[in-house]
Each structure stands twice: as C-alpha cells, then as structure tokens.
Amino acid sequence: MLSAVARYKQLLSSALARYFPHTTAYLRAEREAAQPRKPARKQSKKKSTGNKKASGRKTDSGKPGPAGIYPGTRLKVEDAQVQAMRERVAQAVNARLIGAPSAEQWAMILCRAPLARIFAGAGSGKSSTLVLRVVFLLCHLEVDPKRLTVISFTNASCSELRERLQRLLDFWHYPHDARQCVRTFHAAMATLAKEHLGNPRWFEQLDEPGDEPDNPLTGGRLRPAQQRLLKQAYQNAYAEDARFRVLTHRLLKLPAPEEPPQGKAKAPLDACKLPGEFTALPLFELLHGQIDFAESLGIRLDRLEVKTLGCAARERDFIEAMQRFHQHFNNLLKHQGLISFNGAFAQLSERLSSDDGKPGPALLALSHLLIDEFQDISPQIVLWLQAVHRRLHAAGERISLMAIGDDWQSIYGWRGSSPELFIDFDRHFPSRGRSKSTTLLLGTNYRSIEPVIRDGEKVLAEVQNKQAKTCVAAKAMQPGDHGVRLIQRFDLASGLPALLQEITAQCQHVSQRANADRTAVLLLSRRNEPLQQVRAQLDKALPVRAMTIHRAKGLQAEVAIILDDCLPVEKHPLRNALYAHCGFFAGSYDQAMQDEARRLAYVAITRGVSRVLWYTRKAQGATQCLAASRPIAQASG
C-alpha cells in the first residue's frame, strides 16, 4: 500500500496535470531530457524455447500485435545543443521570422523520445512548431538530411512547409538544401517504388504526367483518360466473364443476360445507386470507388472470401463484382505499364517484409519520420509505415517517428482514414519492451476566441471515440464578437439575397476591426453546389473565399459562414462489411460516419476567428446541441 506521503504526492500530481496540462507536459519533457540515458541491456544468449513469445504482443482485441521496434532509450541530446537552439530561436524571434514558442511548443521542439505522438488542436501553431523541430534535428542534433522525411498532406501544404523551413534554415546558415525532406506520402512512396518496382507509371497521373504524386484525397472526379481505361476494363470483364455479366445485370436490375451472347457482349452503361453513396454513378466508376476504399483499409481483394462477410446477398454480389472487375483492371494496367497508388503501397509493404538486402537511398530517407495530419492516415498507410520501419530496423538502422495530428479534425473516413489509428498509436507502432510513445499536447488555440472554441467542442460531445482534451483560447475578445449564431429555416433559393447582404455586412464589420484577419469571410459547405450558387451572385471585390469544409482545413477567416443542413448519414451496408473485415476498427462504418459529421462541423466552426454564422433548414445533427443553448434566429427573405 502507498504511504500517506506517497498518496498525497500522487493526488497533487494528478491535480496539477488536470488544471495545468500544458505546463505539466513541458516539465515532464524537461525532466525526461535531464535523465541520464540507461545503457542498453545485453541480449541474453539463451536458446529460444520455440514458443516465439518475442514475435508479437497482445492487443486490446486479443489478437497478436506487431512486436516493438522503436528504442526505449531517449535521443542523445546535450544541454549545450538545447541552449544553442533556444538562443538562435530568440534571435529569429527578434528578427521577426517567427513568434516566440510557448512552453508546450518547446516540449515538442526538444522532445527526446524516438516515438512521440503530438495532439495538436486547431489553431495551435502546429506548422511553425513542426518546422522548428526539423531545424533542431538538422542544425543542432546533426541528423543527416538524407535520412529524414517530413510528411505533409498535399503538394500544396508541402510547398508551404518547404518555404517556411528553408527560410529558417537560411537564418541558421544550414549548408544543405533540405527542401526535398518534405514530401507527401504518395511522393515518398513513388520514390521508393523507383527502387523496388522499376519506376512505374501511375494510373492516377494519366493526363498529367511528370508532376510529383499528390494525395488523391484532394482530387475530384476521374479524368477522361482514367475513365476510358476503367470503361475498357469494365467492357473486358463483361465480354470475357459470364459470371460478371450475371452480377452486372443483378446490380443494375436488368433482365438476365443472354447466354451465350450473340457476338461480343456490350456492357450496359446504366447508372447504379449504392446505399450510402450520395449519387448514382456508372457501374464501372462505382466499382472502382469501392475498390479504392477496400484497398485503403488494407484489404487484398484477391484474397477475400466473400462468403465469410456478414452482409446481405446484394452486398456480396457487389463485392464479388468488385473482385472480378479488379482482376481485369489490374491486367489492363500491367499491359499498359501502369500501376495504381494503392497497388504500389500493397506491393511495397509485402516486398519490404520479405526483403533482406541493403536499404537504398529512398528507404534510408524514411529512417526519421515526422508525419503531419496523422489523424487522416488509413490502414493501408499504417501497414506501409510498419513495413518501412521494420525493414530499416532489421538492417540495423536507427529509426524514429513523430506523429502530429488532431483526432478532432479527422474528416476523411469516406476514403478509409480513421482517427482510431492515431488514438491507438501504441498498438500499431509499439516500442521495445514495456515502453510507450511519449504523448504531448498543443492545446492553446491562437486563432479563435473562446466562444468559438467552446461551440466547436459542444458539437463533439456525442463523438464516441476521441481523445479527451480542453483547448485554451489565447486571443482576447472584442465588442461584437460571438460564437456560433444559428440561423434556421434557411432556404438558399429564397434566402440568397439576404445571405449576400449578410456577407457584405460582415465584410464591412471586419474592415473596421483592429488587427483583423486578411480574409474577412470564409464561406463553407460540405457540397460545392450551394457555394457555386452564392459565388455566381457575390461581389468579386469582397474579401471572401468560398470552399468546401474539406478544402478549408488549415485555413481561417475573421468570420466563418457555414451553409449546411447536417442531414443524417445514410447507412452503408457494403462499407460496414468491409470495415468489420479489415480488423482495424472497433465500431461500424456507419458509426464512424456519424462521428465524422460532428468532426466536420468542428472543423468548420474553428475556421472562424471572432464570429461564426451557421445557416440551416432546421437544427439537427451537429447543430441540434447548439440550438438548445442559444436564442433561435430565423432566416429572412
């Protein structure tokens, strides 16, 4: 039993951690940094007993998890290196290159853990802190730039991060060009594919060859060359596979096909509506979209036993059609010397797991990884990262991983991503022995006023799986500032003139505000259609940006105006079956989408600095909890 003194210390520590979380995190990191590094234990020379206990560890689900590969010892950092970093940062602050880091940001910059997870809330200065972390690694710890990679979400975010990084490295007089350290997952994978898969051409880059591969999450509809190839694969499958013809007619609710066909069978191009999808699409596009989703979950369709899936007959028919179409699609890709991003990730994961050769430059570049927006990765990316670092570890290379993200802002579940992978980080990326990853919090919001932050937190109240945290507002309020003002009974067709007047009034308000954001108004919606209607009538001279909530992630404006009815999520039986089969998630796809709708609302709200207006037909979903705590405004017009 604990002594009275020990119990008092424990209670006091818990209270300090609860009421001063940022200071506690910083002091913990500083204390760990001051601890002397323990010498590594020598491996026992006892013969193996044959039970292979070291091959894996039990996860919460009871299944064996991956064995730990990340070292439990801290990174070797001298006091002089830390002092030199602090002094140079102070000079950069005086030169107005950066703002002064807070205590919680310093904890991330100077983190000694080879395996770290950073929960970085909205507006927490994550990007500037990440850049300083890279500067510390390169300039003070002298990590080889050819063994370090920073992963950012899109080519656009990479470009911005490179510019920030190079500006600071020039100030530090760093002699090397480190801009190539910053890549997207797909660009890093493509470089590795050149070493292992023979420099393939990419299906996703048809019609735009030569560009660095970007994250396909940012893409829109399929381009003409992609559609032609998919249509050809669909036609080949229909002409050559009698079973595929039967499945096609069932799915399209057409009469049974004539067997044997008279001449070459011509595939029907009717649109198909799948439960859970927004719109009806040609069957070949719909099949490709669901194949893409299944592969992002790490599912190998060629090894999937459809009979084992817990779903209805129609969903089993669709998945069997996916398998047969996928085979013809892959044959066509191979014939044309192409490969898909998903196919390359899967092939590389398997090859790295069985390879025992000397790591090449592309693989060595992934030794020390800093990954931004980690909450939006998929099981497929997890499997690839595991294979990459296990291969490097087996080759005797030092590895480290810092994952930065915010599970509250995970909004790409419809493409296979999930915040569960970030929340269950230690399950997927275990340390050796009993060590766990170091977890830090960037919880100060430098963007939004407190009412905006609190309203954002309210819409997350019913999210089942999330990291508990409370964000702190650093920005002071001014007269007239407010959180979410909800305008109900809004119809865009009749209410557009009043909405345009409101946008103009908000722009005038921002023009008279001290220290206002450069963007006066950010107009947000889940869909492009309402934004297009407003853009067509909006005065182009106004400082207003209109974009989907997904594209606005990471941006901000003084006033955020949201157009969203928060319609209930439609059930998706097919994806529920795939979700359950992949084995990565605790809940269903439908539950994940309900939670994601709340997180999408949180992202939209926290784009606003000092005001948020939300236009909707009626309070439901994310807006229902907001309506219960404030006066109801009715739309005019």
Question: How does strand 201-202 pair with strand 338-339?
Answer: parallel
Give the residue among 261, 258, 285, 262 at the shortest CA–CA distance from 274.
Answer: 285
- Tell whether 288 and 375 lie within a shared domain: no
Question: Mean pLDDT score of the chain, rounded to an integer?
Answer: 89
Checking if the pLDDT of 15 tops 80, the result is no
Least confident interval from 65-74, 305-314, 526-535: 65-74
- Tell whether 438 and 456 lie within a shared domain: no
CA 129, 132, 137 angle in degrees (round to 5)? Answer: 130
- Tell whether 575 and 472 lie within a shared domain: yes
CB 463 within 8 A of CB 599: yes
- Tell whether 467 and 553 lie within a shared domain: yes
- pLDDT value of residue 165: 96
Q: Would you tell me how many other CB atoms lie within 10 Å of the CB of residue 337?
A: 9
CB 440 within 8 A of CB 108: yes
With respect to residue 63, please indicate whether it lies within any of the assigned structural domains: no
- Tell whether 458 and 600 lie within a shared domain: yes
Helix-, strand-, coil-residue percentages of the chain, each rounded to 5: 50, 10, 40
- Tell whether 436 and 455 lie within a shared domain: no
Instruction: Give me 163's structure tokens.
Output: 């510019």
- Tell whether 618 and 472 lie within a shared domain: yes
Give the residue among 343, 339, 428 at the shortest CA–CA distance from 377.
Answer: 428
- pLDDT band for position 625 (cuts 50, 70, 90): confident
How many domains does the structure of the chain reveal? 3
Choose one of 276, 309, 336: the last residue of a domain. Answer: 336
- pLDDT value of residue 123: 95
- pLDDT value of residue 35: 44
Instruction: Give me 3's structure tokens.
Output: 């002594």
- Tell whether 500 and 471 lie within a shared domain: yes
pTM for the predicted model, two decimal places: 0.88
Q: For the segment 154-200, what is each residue's pLDDT rounded down to a tens digit? A: 888 999 999 999 999 999 999 988 888 999 999 999 999 999 999 88
Task: Give the rounded distance of the alpha carbon of 182 from its chain centre.
Answer: 16
| Cα 97 to Cα 101: distance, rounded to the nearest angstrom | 12
Stronger pLDDT, 122 or 49, i.e. the higher one: 122
Backbone angles phi, psi at 400, to 5 degrees: -150, 155
Helices vs. strands in the chain: H and E counts, helices first: 23, 20
Question: In angstroms, how far is the first alpha carbon of the chain from the final one?
Answer: 70
CA distance to 59, 87, 313, 346, 389, per residue, from 247 (Å): 39, 68, 11, 27, 42
CATH code for position 628 = 3.40.50.300
- pLDDT value of residue 65: 61
- Tell whether 113 and 138 lie within a shared domain: yes
E strands present in 420-578? 438-442, 444-445, 472-473, 484-488, 521-525, 544-548, 557-563
The three-class DSSP label of residue 404 is strand
Checking if the pLDDT of 4 tops 70, the result is no
Which amino acid is it at 1? M
Question: How does strand 484-488 pair with strand 521-525?
Answer: unpaired
With respect to residue 17, please indicate whether it lies within any of the assigned structural domains: no
Choose one of 442, 463, 489: the last residue of a domain. Answer: 442
- Tell whether 178 and 223 lie within a shared domain: no
With respect to residue 259, please indicate whether it lies within any of the assigned structural domains: yes
Q: For the segment 16-64, what is each residue's pLDDT rounded down to a tens digit? A: 544 454 455 445 544 444 444 344 344 333 333 333 333 343 444 444 5
With respect to residue 306, please indicate whether it lies within any of the assigned structural domains: yes
Question: Considering the chain, what percentage of its residues have pLDDT values greater than 90?
Answer: 77
Checking if the pLDDT of 432 tops 60, the result is yes
Question: How does strand 56-58 pair with strand 64-66?
Answer: antiparallel
- Tell whether 485 and 372 lie within a shared domain: no
The three-class DSSP label of residue 373 is coil
The three-class DSSP label of residue 403 is strand
Q: For the segment 370-411, what is each residue's pLDDT rounded down to a tens digit? A: 999 999 999 999 999 999 999 999 999 999 999 999 999 999
With respect to residue 6, please indicate whether it lies within any of the assigned structural domains: no
With respect to residue 31, please indicate whether it lies within any of the assigned structural domains: no
CB 205 within 8 A of CB 166: no
- Tell whether 177 and 146 lie within a shared domain: yes
Stronger pLDDT, 15 or 152, i.e. the higher one: 152
With respect to residue 76, please indicate whether it lies within any of the assigned structural domains: yes
CA distance to 59, 107, 371, per residue, from 118 (Å): 22, 10, 10
| Cα 326 to Cα 381: distance, rounded to the nearest angstrom | 20
Least confident interval from 94-98, 228-232, 565-569: 565-569
CA 536, 537, 542 angle in degrees (round to 5)? Answer: 105
Which amino acid is it at 154? T
Give the residue among 488, 482, 485 at the shortest CA–CA distance from 636.
Answer: 488
Alpha helices in 297-439 (DSSP H): 313-335, 341-354, 361-364, 379-394, 420-423, 425-428
Q: Write b or e for each residue in 573-609: b if 16 or more Cβ atoms lie within 10 A of its Cβ, otherwise e.
A: bbbbbbbebbebbebbbbbbbbbbbbbbbbbbbbbbb
Backbone angles phi, psi at 397, to 5 degrees: -85, 145
Query: How many residues are listed for the chain in this entry?
Result: 637
Which amino acid is it at 474? A
Q: Which domain holds residue 283?
A: 218-336
Instruction: Give me 579's structure tokens.
Output: 């979700």
| Cα 90 to Cα 82: distance, rounded to the nearest angstrom | 12
CB 229 within 8 A of CB 203: yes
Question: Considering the chain, what percentage of its residues have pLDDT values greater than 70?
Answer: 87
Q: Name the CA radius of gyration of the chain, rounded.
A: 26
Choose one of 279, 308, 336: the last residue of a domain. Answer: 336
With respect to residue 203, please indicate whether it lies within any of the assigned structural domains: no
Q: For the segment 331-362, what is each residue's pLDDT rounded down to a tens digit? A: 999 999 999 999 999 999 999 999 888 999 99
Instruction: Give me 167's structure tokens.
Output: 């500006």
The three-class DSSP label of residue 147 is helix
Which residues fall within 8 angstroms of residue 15, CB to CB, at 6 or more apart? none
Instruction: Give me 637's structure tokens.
Output: 């017009």
Stronger pLDDT, 108 or 11, i.e. the higher one: 108
- pLDDT value of residue 212: 77
- pLDDT value of residue 317: 97
